[in-house]
């Protein structure tokens, strides 16, 4: 299928977890603005320094910074048949900017209520070597790699609350925006990781 897919949903909905499976299914490269920003922070670049303040506070990084990152990323040859956006767009101006640089063919919204989100995020652990995502209870890592797992700096209960506020105020309105364009596919994100993956596959298989 030609064109880009957007993975949409609140923080901790499971976008990153599901992205790897959709990449395998579609062959489209994953473009995660969160991962790009974390790489910039760890490189210590000017962009990283600016972004870090927003990320640590659970606020959205300014649209101009994000749009610039995406425009550059889409120039790479692997993006020519479309990509899988994870965590982008997150505001109406980002979505409008995206319209001029990519053809979005589906927006998959993973729906999870706020009360499940805090638990998911506070228990999340990342493997810094592979980027794999685990959860202390719902998706435990193999014992042999447990010691090297890290917790994201913004994965505290306090920061999650700010991220949820930002989501409801600035990002959630995009669901209606994409629904009006006939591009929104909503899936229940409350099942197991495999069940959610199956719902996503069913929703995009025919596009």
Applying the rule CB under 6 A, the residues between 25 and 64 that interact with ligand AP5 are 33-34, 37, 54-55, 58-61
Q: Is the peptide bond before 89 cis (omega within 30 degrees of 0)?
A: yes
When asked if residue 177 is in the footprint of ligand AP5 (CB under 6 A), the reply is no
Is 153 one of the annotated active-site residues of the chain?
A: no
Minimum distance, C-beta of residue 38 to ligand AP5, in the bound complex (Å): 7
Among 133, 174, 184, 187, the residue binding ligand AP5 under the rule CB under 6 A is 133
Instruction: Give yes or no for residue 83 binding ligand AP5 (CB under 6 A).
Output: no
Q: Which of 78, 192, 202, 207 binds ligand AP5 (CB under 6 A)?
A: 192
Is residue 16 a contact point for ligand AP5 (CB under 6 A)? yes
Q: Three-state SS across the chain?
A: CCCEEEEECCCCCCHHHHHHHHHHHHCCCEEEHHHHHHHHHHHCCHHHHHHHHHHHHCCCCCHHHHHHHHHHHCCCHHHCCCCEEECCCCCHHHHHHHHCCCCEEEEEEEECCHHHHHHHHHCEEECCCCCCEEECCCECCCHHHHHHCECCCCCCHHHHHHHHHHHHHHHCHHHHHHHHCCCEEEEECCCCHHHHHHHHHHHHCCC
Query: Which of residues 5, 135, 174, 200 is near ligand AP5 by CB under 6 A?
Result: 135
Told to judge if 21 belongs to the known catalytic residues of this protein, a careful annotator would answer no
Instruction: Give the binding range for ligand AP5 (CB under 6 A) out of 73-81, 84-92, 142-150, 180-188.
Output: 84-92
> Which chain residues interact with ligand AP5 by CB under 6 A?
9, 11-17, 33-34, 37, 54-55, 58-61, 66, 87-88, 90, 94, 120-121, 123-124, 133-135, 138-139, 163, 189, 192-193, 196
Q: Which residues form the catalytic set? A: 15, 90, 124, 152, 163
């Amino acid at each position: 299928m030609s064109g880009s897919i957007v993975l949409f949903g609140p923080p901790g909905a499971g976008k990153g977890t599901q992205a790897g499976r959709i990449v395998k299914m579609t062959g489209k490269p994953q473009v995660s603005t969160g991962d790009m920003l974390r790489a910039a922070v760890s490189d210590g670049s000017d962009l990283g320094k600016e972004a870090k303040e927003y990320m640590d506070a659970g606020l959205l990084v300014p649209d101009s910074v994000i749009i610039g990152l995406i425009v550059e990323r889409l120039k790479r040859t692997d993006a020519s048949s479309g990509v899988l956006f994870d965590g982008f767009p997150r505001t109406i101006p980002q979505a409008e900017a995206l319209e001029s640089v990519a053809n979005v063919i589906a927006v998959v919204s993973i729906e999870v209520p706020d009360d499940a989100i805090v638990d998911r995020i506070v228990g999340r652990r990342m493997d810094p070597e592979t980027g794999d995502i685990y959860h202390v209870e719902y998706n435990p890592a193999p014992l042999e790699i447990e010691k090297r797992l890290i917790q994201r700096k913004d994965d505290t209960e306090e920061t999650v609350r700010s991220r949820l506020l930002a989501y409801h105020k600035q990002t959630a309105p995009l669901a209606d925006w994409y629904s009006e364009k006939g591009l929104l596919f909503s899936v229940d994100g409350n099942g197991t990781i495999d069940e959610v993956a199956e719902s996503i596959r069913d929703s995009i298989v025919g596009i």
